[in-house]
Amino acid sequence: MYSVNQRFDNQDIPEDELLTSGNLACAGCGASLSMRLALKGLGKPTTLTVPACCWTIIPGAFPRSIMEVPFFNCAFETAASTAAGIKAAYRKRGMDDICVVAWAGDGGTLDIGIQALSGAAERNDDIIYICYDNEAYMNTGIQRSSATPLGSWTTTTPVKNPKSEPKKDIDEIMIAHRIPYLATATAAFPHDMIAKFKKARSIKGTRFIHLFSSCPTGWRMPENLSIEVMRLAVLSNIFPLYEVEGGEVYRQTFVPDEIVPVNEYMHLQGRFRHLTEEDIKAYQKAVDKRYETLKERFAKGKENTAI
Ligand SMILES: Cc1ncc(C[n+]2csc(CCOP(=O)(O)OP(=O)(O)O)c2C)c(N)n1
Ligand code: SF4
Ligand SMILES: [Mg+2]
């Protein structure tokens, strides 16, 4: 059976590092590990464009950088359109083999960058768009975003007035664009994540990867729980791991042997500490409901694959 503290074998994880040491992330930052693994899956040649977010800071201040691939800082709302523009310029120069990646936070994706993202997806621009989702605007001091879960504390949704809206379902929004490839992933399942980045690279058109990315600072938890919390999000079905091809064929890439109650995930994080038993029950109900819907799609996906 799969355990929360399971150690993964390094076998099959590419040894090449496209990040050097000395990044400026907080200790235990899920986003920094996510980039490291993503680049192992993508390999070279790859060019990144990154809007305002923690990842603008993490590589270090000019002229120093931990990045071994080109990294272009763009305006907050423009990740997808900047990536599409870079790709068009490369194509014009006969450099179509370069994989262009937009790497943005949840605020930069679900909120301010959604117009550019929707436009790129509708045109099926040949880019990979990654949303690393730490469920708030962390870089500016933990403000709520539309990815912040229902009931969560942030500095703009304080304990006396926690977030009253559920998390926006960006995956279903992107699937509705019928893009060639969408995947959910987390660095706590490194093999699954790297395989999805390799697959995304091999496909043409708009590919979207939603990374669940722990933030010990904003989630109010010790940094050594970072991996455990990301795993519990998967094992509790809060963040199921799956992929969708052509906006139609769903495939679950990891099926937990045993579903963990959401409380086991929530009680490790200070941002949920104020929630009552009733609140947690309601949260569990919402997670179960969403998973039931997904399960039907996974079953249908299996039928489609069998044809
Ligand atoms: C147009 C614009 N509005 C606001 C900001 C300020 N700002 C910079 S980073 C950031 C938060 C980004 O949040 P998210 O995309 O979730 O990434 P995270 O910081 O969580 O990594 C904000 C609001 C900005 N740089 N540009
Ligand atoms: S605030 Fe959160 S996402 Fe940003 S660097 Fe720190 S741990 Fe990482
Ligand atoms: Mg964020």
The CA–CA distances, whole Å, from 42 to 61, 168, 193, 238 equal: 24, 27, 11, 26
Among 122, 90, 124, 107, CA closest to 50: 107
What are the distances in angstroms from CA 281 to CA 145, 163, 217, 285? 23, 16, 26, 6
Q: Confirm or reject: Cβ of 138 under 6 Å from ligand 1.
A: yes
Q: Which residue has the tokens 């091809």?
A: 245
- Please tell me the distance between residue 65's alpha carbon and the centre of ligand 2 in angstroms: 17
Closest ligand to the CA of 222: 2
Q: How far is the CA of 218 from the centre of ligand 2 (A)?
A: 7
Query: Three-state DSSP class for 249?
Result: strand
Counting from 1 in the atom list of ligand 2, the atom nearest the Cα of 27 is 7
Distance 211 CA to ligand 3 centre (A): 11
Q: What is the pLDDT of residue 180?
A: 98
Residue 215 near ligand 2, beta carbon < 6 Å: yes
Closest CA to 188 of 12, 33, 54, 1: 33
pLDDT of residue 305: 67
> Among 19, 24, 26, which residue has the most ligand 2 atoms within 8 Å of its CB, making it the best to mutate?
26
DSSP of 110-128: IITTHHHHHHHHHHT-S-E
Kindly list the distances between the CA atom of residue 306 and the CA atoms of 72, 247, 248, 300, 301, in Å, as whole numbers in the listed order: 42, 17, 14, 10, 9
Query: Per residue in 47-91, pLDDT tens?
Result: 999 999 999 999 999 899 999 999 999 999 999 999 999 999 999
pLDDT reported for residue 307? 47
Contact 222, 216 (CB under 8 A): yes
As given in the structure block, the two tokens for residue 304 are 């489609």
Q: For the chain, what is the radius of gyration of the CA atoms?
A: 18
Q: What is the mean pLDDT of residues 267-286?
A: 97
Residue 9 has pLDDT above 70, yes or no: yes
Res 42: pLDDT: 98
pLDDT digits (tens, 9 = 90+) for 94-146: 999 999 999 999 999 999 999 999 999 999 999 999 999 999 999 999 999 99
pTM beyond cutoff 0.85: yes
pLDDT at 208 > cutoff 60: yes
- The overall average pLDDT reported for the chain is 96
Reading across the β-sheet that carries 181-186, which strands appear in turn? 71-73, 46-50, 99-105, 128-133, 207-212, 181-186, 242-245, 249-252
Helix (H, G, I), strand (E, B) or coil at 130: strand
The residue to mutate among 134, 142, 223, having the most atoms of ligand 2 within 8 angstroms of its beta carbon, is 134
| pLDDT reading at 1 higher than 60 | no
- Asked whether the predicted pLDDT for residue 157 surpasses 60, the reply is yes
- pLDDT for 110 equals 98
Percent of the chain with pLDDT over 70: 98
